[in-house]
Amino acid sequence: MPTLTPLLSIQHTSKTYDGTPALVDAALDLMPGEVHALMGENGAGKSTLIKILAGVVRPDRAEIRIDGQPVSIHSPKEAYDRGLRFIHQELQIVPQVSVAENLALSQPYPRWLGVLVDWRKLHQQANRALERLGISHIDPRQSMARLSVGDRMLVKIASAFANSTQAASIYVLDEPTAALNAAESQRLFAVIRELKTQGCGILYVSHRMDEVFEICNTVTVMRDGRVISTQAIQQTSRGGLIRLMTGREVSHAYPPRTQPHGQQVVLEGHGLLNGVDFQVRAGEILGIAGLAGAGQSELLKAIMGALPATVGTLSLEGQPMTPAHPADGWEKGFAFVPQERREQGLVLSRSVRENISLPHLRRLSTSGVLLDVGRETRLADDLSKQVRLKATSNRQLTRQLSGGNQQKVVFARAMAGQPRLLLLDEPTRGVDVGARFDLYTLIRQASIDGTAILLASSDLGELLGLCDRILVLRRGRGATVVKAAGLTQHDLLALCYG
C-alpha cells in the first residue's frame, strides 16, 4: 500500500496553563477519507488540541502540516481559510440574531451591489444548510435565543457543514452529539459518511463508545495531555479503550439495586404540563424519557420552583406544595442539576469551591451570615474527590476546567448532605466513560440512603440501567409510566414516539 500524505499532521504540540501542562508533545495524523476518534478522560487535553488547531489557543509549541505543507494558525480566520471547520464543545452562538445569521457567521453575507445584505439569499443558504442535516423544524428567521439547547447545537453543526466559497477538507467535531438525541445523531452520522466518501478527514471527539465504533476508522487515545496510542478501530475493544484512557480497571456495568426502595411517597404530581401525573417514593429512581423538547426540563424546573407559573398540583410527603423560587426547593432539601452546565449551572468566573457551596451557603456559615471557609473547603474537597474532579485545587476557576469536569462540579454540589429529592437533568452529559460510572454509583448510593430521585436523560441505556420506573413524556399528549425491568432500548424508544 502506498503511503498517503496525511490531510492534517500534528507533531510536537504542547501547551501549559500557568505551569500545569495540558498538552505534552501531542502528535496525530488525519488521513483523507478517515473518521478519526479522539478519546480520553475529562481533562485529557482533547479540546485544548482542537482549540490550538482552530487558532483560538496559542500553543507553547506546535508543528502543524496540512497536505504536507507546514502551516501556522494564529486565528480562527486563518483556520477557516485553510479549509478547517470546527464544532467546538462549548456552543458559540450569537443569541441576539437570527438562525440564518448564525449560520453565516464565518462567511461574508450575500449582498446587493456589495452593500445591502441580500436577506432572501441568506435565508435560502440557511435553509439549504439545515436541509442537509434533515432539519425542517427550525425557521432560519427565528432568533437564536428562542431555540432549545439541542436545536442550537443543530444550527452550530449545520454551520460547520454549510457550503462555502472556500472548500473545506478537514472537519473537527468536539462532542457534537452530547446534546443530541439518537435520531439527530444518526442524521449527523449520515453527513459524516458522505464527507468521508468525498475524501474529507474528520477528527471526532466523543465519550460515547457506541458512536465511535459505529462511525470511526481509527482511534487515538490521550491521557494526561499525552497521546498514548493510535489504532485501527477493528484492533480495539471497549474494555481495551477504557483501560487505555483511564489506566485503571473500570466497571462498566450499572450499579444494581441491592435492596428494595421505600414505600413512602415523597413527591406526587398531578396534571403538570397539561396532564402529567407521577409519584416517586423514598429511594426510588424515576426516569424521565421523551423526544427532544417533550418537557423533561420544564417538569424538573416546575418542581424546583424555577418556572413562573405552573399548572397542576404538587404534594410533598402528602402536604400540598407550591414552590415559587428555587430557593424554596433547596430549603426543602431538594437538589437540582440543571440541563445546561454553563448557562444554568456554573458561575464560571468563580472557583470550584464557591460553585459547590453556592446552594448550601446558609448551612456553611455562622448564623447564616458569616462565611465559614473552613467548612466550605472541606465540603468542596470531599465532593470533588467523590466525583474524581480534575482541578488544580478547589480555588481553580470553573472557567478553566474541561467541559466534563465542569459538569462534575454541577453534579457534585447536588450530592452535598443527603437530599430528600434529587432532580437530575442530563447529569452525565460530557462526562467520560470511567467517571460516568462513578457518578452512577453515587446516584445509586443516594437512592439506597432513601433519596427520591428524578432522572431525565436522553441516554436510554442510562435510564434503563438505573431507574426503577420510567415516566415517558409526549409533548401535549400526556405521559405514561412504565417499569424499567425487562424493557429494551427499542421498547423505550417506541414508547417515546408512541
In the complex, the residues that contact ligand ATP under the rule CB under 6 A are 17-18, 22, 40, 42-48, 89, 390, 400-405, 432
Q: Which does 55 bind (CB under 5 to 8 A by kind): other proteins, Mg ion, ligand ATP, none?
A: other proteins
By beta-carbon proximity to other proteins, the closer residue of 127 and 406 is 406
By beta-carbon proximity to Mg ion, the closer residue of 220 and 402 is 402
Residue 377 carries which side chain, given as an amino acid letter?
Answer: T
By beta-carbon proximity to Mg ion, the closer residue of 47 and 177 is 47
Gap between the Cα atoms of 221 and 203, Å rounded: 12
By beta-carbon proximity to other proteins, the closer residue of 93 and 487 is 93
Q: Which three cell numbers, joined as nine digits, stand for 258?
A: 441491592
Q: How far is the CB of 135 from other proteins (least distance, A)?
A: 22
Position among 13, 14, 89, 185 found at the interface with Mg ion (CB under 5 A): 89
Position among 348, 481, 482, 495 found at the interface with other proteins (CB under 8 A): 348
Q: How far is the CB of 341 from other proteins (least distance, A)?
A: 9
Q: Which of 202, 228, 225 is nearest to 16 (CA)?
A: 225
Bridge-based pairing state of the strands 84-87 and 69-71: unpaired
Position among 350, 375, 378, 475 found at the interface with other proteins (CB under 8 A): 350
Position among 104, 157, 304, 466 found at the interface with other proteins (CB under 8 A): 304
DSSP 3-state percent helix, strand, coil across the chain (nearest 5): 35, 25, 40
Q: How far is the CB of 304 from other proteins (least distance, A)?
A: 7
Start-to-end Cα distance in the chain: 51
Residue showing the smallest CB distance to Mg ion in the complex? 47
Q: Does 327 bind other proteins (CB under 8 A)?
A: yes
Q: Which does 58 bind (CB under 5 to 8 A by kind): Mg ion, other proteins, ligand ATP, none?
A: other proteins
Whole-Å CA distances, 204 to 184, 199, 209: 16, 15, 12
Position among 11, 92, 217, 377 found at the interface with other proteins (CB under 8 A): 92
Q: Which does 43 bind (CB under 5 to 8 A by kind): Mg ion, other proteins, ligand ATP, none?
A: ligand ATP
Q: Which of 159, 250, 213 is nearest to 37 (CA)?
A: 213
Q: Does 398 bind Mg ion (CB under 5 A)?
A: no
Residue 449 carries which side chain, given as an amino acid letter?
Answer: D
Q: Does 47 bind Mg ion (CB under 5 A)?
A: yes
Task: Please say whether the dihedral angle defined by the alpha carbons of residues 270, 273, 275 and 281, taken in this order, is positive or negative.
Answer: negative
Question: 171 - beta bridge partners?
Answer: 85, 202
Site string for other proteins, 1-30 (x = CB under 8 A): -----------------x------------
By beta-carbon proximity to other proteins, the closer residue of 86 and 437 is 86
DSSP state at residue 25 = E
By the 8 A CB rule, do 449 and 417 touch?
Answer: no
SS3 420: coil
Gap between the Cα atoms of 10 and 61, Å rounded: 11
Q: Which does 290 bind (CB under 5 to 8 A by kind): other proteins, Mg ion, ligand ATP, none?
A: none
DSSP state at residue 254 = P
Number of shown-chain residues binding other proteins (CB under 8 A): 46
By beta-carbon proximity to other proteins, the closer residue of 257 and 360 is 360
Whole-Å CA distances, 192 to 41, 186, 189, 365: 24, 10, 5, 52
Whole-Å CA distances, 32 to 51, 193, 338: 21, 12, 40
Gap between the Cα atoms of 469 and 285, Å rounded: 7
**Which residues sit at the interface with Mg ion, rule CB under 5 A?**
47, 89, 402-403
**Which residues sit at the interface with other proteins, rule CB under 8 A?**
18, 51, 54-58, 74-76, 88, 90-92, 304, 306, 325-327, 329-331, 336, 338, 342-350, 354, 358-359, 361-362, 365, 368-371, 397, 399, 413
